[in-house]
Structure 1
Amino acid sequence: MTRVRNIALADVDHLDRDVLPIGTDYPPGHVLDWHEHRRAQFLYGATGVMIVDTAEGTWTVPPQRAVLIPAATRHRVRMLGVSTGSLYVEPRAVPWWPVACRVVDVPPLLRELLLTATGFPADYDRSGRAGCVIALLLHEIAALRPLPFQVRIPASAALAALCRAYLAAPDTGVSNAEWAARAAMSERALTRRFRAETGDSPAVWRARARMLTAVPLLATASVTEVAGRLGYATPAAFTAAFTRTFGVPPSRFAAERAPYGGPYGAAPPYG
């Protein structure tokens, strides 16, 4: 009976199970380079921050959240101090799975179910307790609503390059005029094309991108320090922008840790 922690999906993908739960510990800064899975993936980070890239966008996954990755989606994941729990799901079992990546909250019940599932053998009994836990996991995931922790990447190579460079080094001083010059376009043409390919103006996109880059910084730095690094005049200005973008203040992420220090933030034994 193969246990499912720190093993490769390829070692168990042949098993006749709609859902394969696998827990994995990654060293700080580990990068899962561009790859894809035959199965859909529910990727949960108990600690740290994950950054998921596809050709279409970038999704930042704060601690104790998860990302839903569609089957056969080429992606890259940067792990910033992360211990994960994954569910690899046969596409036929989840016709409701989103067609693009999606960041979601992970309520306590779902977290506990995931912790339980990653303790099952890979060839768990589908008709017993394990099968019931797996079925309930899928019901809980289907009810989750998306969180706004993503930006779209334009299809045009020139605009995509601008966006990738900005995500790597966000700067409040960058203007549409500068981007237009670098893309050899007029400002009006840049704005029109950018909005058509992302749904946002360049300025709105850059503001959201700055907020996304703040999430991993908050894991190791104070709100004041992050505000300064991103070029905000005051911590209050940064806090207002962050809260406006994500609906919660940045202090939520600066303070959050796996609540009990165990795998997946598991609660201590009862009693």
Structure 2
Amino acid sequence: DLPLESLGSTDHIPRDVLLDRERFRRIPLGGRPMGLRIAADNRTALVANYLDDSVQVVDIHEGVVKRTIHLGEHTSPSLARRGEAIFYDARRSLDQWYSCHTCHYEGGGNSVAIDTLNDGSIASYKTVLPLYHVAETMPWTWHGWQTDLRAAMTKSITSTMQGPAPNDEDVDAMIAYLKSLRLPPNPYRQADDRLSDAAERGRRIFEGERGACANCHHGPLLTDGKNHDVGLGKPNDRYDGFNTPSLRGLYRKTLLLHDGRVDSLPALLTGPHDPAKVSGVEPLAEDELADLIEYLKTL
């Protein structure tokens, strides 16, 4: 058995175990291992590998893959599939600590505010932006300073993940994969995709003068691609204002605003992002606020 130490919000294998090669070692598998079963001989592990579309037979004692059973015809991966492999590859980070997927869980976020230094300042924590439709939402980053997606991909790997620089083919593959990402089905939408009566009333508030949300959040992805000063900045911010985030998939978020300071839509819309503060409209009544929230959950 491997003991675990609890350090804050995460568990870690003690360093003395990591250094004991008889008790702990890595067995390179590649792809994306998703399932594991130990055979009756307590020596063989069967690993379901998603990206390789295979079952790998691993000799635990020798630390090698003895056999790979492909599930169907083995074909060369597409450009997007190669990008997906990079996205899940921890070897792209320092000491294999994490991959792109660690923060952008299956292309979304991870409900954590982290300091990547991407905003040019230290101890300025930001929530992780989802990557759905990312190629269509220039500029990038919370402060909107990045206008080159290829450069953004490279910087994320070399600076945030502290890994080796990707080559041009790697970046092409990653962008192809990101372009393939789509939001999961929205559970707040009705089966025929119609809005409920409350959500329809909320849509009219959102798009009309009553809420004026669509002044910034408009178009197919509900972002105007511009920076705005909404009163949330700090004196040490290197960049002014915040890039309007897309509201698609808003219902999936558990931390809201750039720094995750609020954790619910009611707290957001009656607090730091109250339409009356941001757009200068008259304060919303309780029933109007409830309708607006019902609409936001359907986006």
- State if a TM-score over 0.5 links the two structures: no
With CA pairs under 8 Å and 6+ residues apart, which has the higher RCO, 1 or 2? 1
Higher percent of residues as strand: 1
For normalisation by structure 2, the TM-score amounts to: 0.26
Quick check: which has more Rg, 1 or 2?
2
Task: Output the TM-score relative to the length of structure 1.
Answer: 0.28
Higher helix share: 1
